[in-house]
Amino acid sequence: MPSLKRRLAAIVITDIVGFTNLSSKDEEGAYNLVKKQREILKPIVMNYEGEWLKEEGDGLLLSFPSSKQAVNCSIQMQAAVKNIEDLNLRIGIHQGDIIIEDKDVFGDDVNIASRIEPFAVAGGIAVSQKIQQDLSSNPEFKFKFIDTPKLKGVQQEISVYCIISHGLPESKKSDIQAKVEPKKKYYKEILISTLFGIILFSYLPQFFQLGDFNFFQSSFSRTANLKNPVTGELNSTKHTADILKELTLADSLLKQNNIEANLDAYTISEILINEDSTQGDFYCLRGMAYFQRAKFQNNSKEILDKSQKDLKKATSSTNINIDYIARAYMTISDIFLLNHDLQNADRAIKRALRANKRIDGVIDKLKNINKIKLQ
């Protein structure tokens, strides 16, 4: 009976750029290049406690006990081959389960790593959001968001980043030729929306004649532009239906209060900020995700500082919904309480109340602060 083992690992997949073309022109030279790759890279992999799982032509499948070891090894491998002719590597890294049966390796996460690898440019490294999140608090590593593509043959939603520290080249979306599912064409939805619009506008004149226009106009103003009750600035809080859906999803993930859901909520906030860095709602969301992550990590000061920085940016924004103003100040109050700064915690929670006294939890937080004050 074959021996089957399953374990969590950081999975690294490499590929030599242009190898197929080289092999068609110089078969012996291509063979020698693969041999040279093995001689150079195998000792580096062993040095980082990596496992040389499989070779497929010019490609390698490696595994490591941690994300940091996988990334450090990949950086070292790129440095080692940088000046070797024709040995131009692309590297993809993901974290997940692998199944080892005899001498073969399986698993959906291996497939994901193989789909991420083409997002790297020659000499570069592409990673999934799991790897990026694992190392996001380490200032040694810098990442740049590339895309959240629908990867071919992959059901999960995967966000892809490239490493831009350590002299590594940045991936450009226009240069990537990864295998992705074609985007759905919403012809039917567009047609229905157009017909609905025609019907709606045909009734608008009658609507105005009924004298309801002023109510409609004032309602729109209240939802589209809200005065910040703390700063007095006029806020623009309009979001598309898709953005509202993402914000609602992220909120529900934070309420689950576990590390995996926190990662997903943080990733949503990163994507939203990458798409529009002017929205205070998005910074509030990321600030709350940082705060929750800090609590999972014994109130990490470094992550708490990141949380406070995002929350301050949110509350000073002129593009923020009053609910997010309140939630931002509530979280800022919690941070002050962790630092035993009761005066500023009290000030922050009262600003949250001025923003929206009906927001869930704000009254309880004020009671808790008053309880401490009266002790």
Q: Are residues 14 and 148 in the same domain?
A: yes
Per-residue model confidence as pLDDT tens digits over 145-175: 888 877 776 767 788 999 999 999 998 876 6
Whether residues 221 and 245 share a domain: the answer is no
Q: What is the pLDDT of residue 3?
A: 55
pLDDT score recorded for residue 289: 95
C-beta separation of 337 from 360 below 8 A: no
pLDDT value of residue 239? 78
Rounded distance between C-alpha atoms, residue 31 and residue 37, angstroms: 10
pLDDT at 235: 46
Residue 8 confidence (pLDDT) = 87
Residues in the chain with pLDDT values less than 50 = 1, 185-186, 206-236
Query: Domain span at residue 339?
Result: 235-373
The answer on 241 and 215 residing in a single domain is no
Final residue in a domain of this structure, among 227, 256, 289: 227
Contact 331, 291 (CB under 8 A): yes
Confirm whether 271 is domain-assigned. Answer: yes
List, in sequence order, every beta strand (DSSP E) within 121-258: 125-128, 143-147, 160-163, 225-227, 234-236
Beta bridge partners of 8: 97
Tokens of 335: 């941070």
Within-domain flag for 180: no
Q: What pLDDT, on the 0 to 100 scale, is given for residue 14?
A: 96
Do residues 244 and 335 share a domain? yes
Which two tokens mark 365?
């937080």
Q: How many CB atoms lie within 10 A of CB 277?
A: 10
Q: Do 35 and 109 reside in the same domain of the chain?
A: yes
Question: Looking at the domain assignment, is residue 345 inside a domain?
Answer: yes
Q: Are residues 305 and 288 in the same domain?
A: yes
User: Does residue 37 belong to any structural domain of this protein?
Assistant: yes
Domain count, the chain: 3
Q: Are residues 222 and 338 located together in one domain of the fold? A: no
Residues pairing with 105 in the sheet: 100
Same domain, 219 and 274: no
* In a shared domain, residues 304 and 250: yes
Report the distance separating Cα 147 and Cα 151, nearest Å. Answer: 11
Q: Are residues 218 and 241 in the same domain?
A: no
Residue 160 belongs to a domain: yes
Distance CA 49, CA 63 (A): 9
Q: What is the pLDDT of residue 238?
A: 67
pLDDT in the model for residue 102:
66
Is residue 364 a part of any domain in this protein?
yes
Residues sharing a CB contact under 8 Å with residue 359, sequence separation 6 or more, in sequence order: 323, 326, 327, 330, 352
Q: End of a domain among 155, 175, 195?
A: 175
Does residue 182 belong to any structural domain of this protein?
no
CATH of the domain at 261: 1.25.40.10
Q: What is the pTM of this model?
A: 0.51
Going by C-alpha positions, the residue among 138, 44, 29 that lies closest to residue 87 is 29
Q: Is residue 30 part of a domain?
A: yes
CA distance 319 to 362: 22
Are residues 146 and 12 both part of a single domain?
yes
Judgement on whether residues 79 and 203 belong to the same structural domain of the protein: no
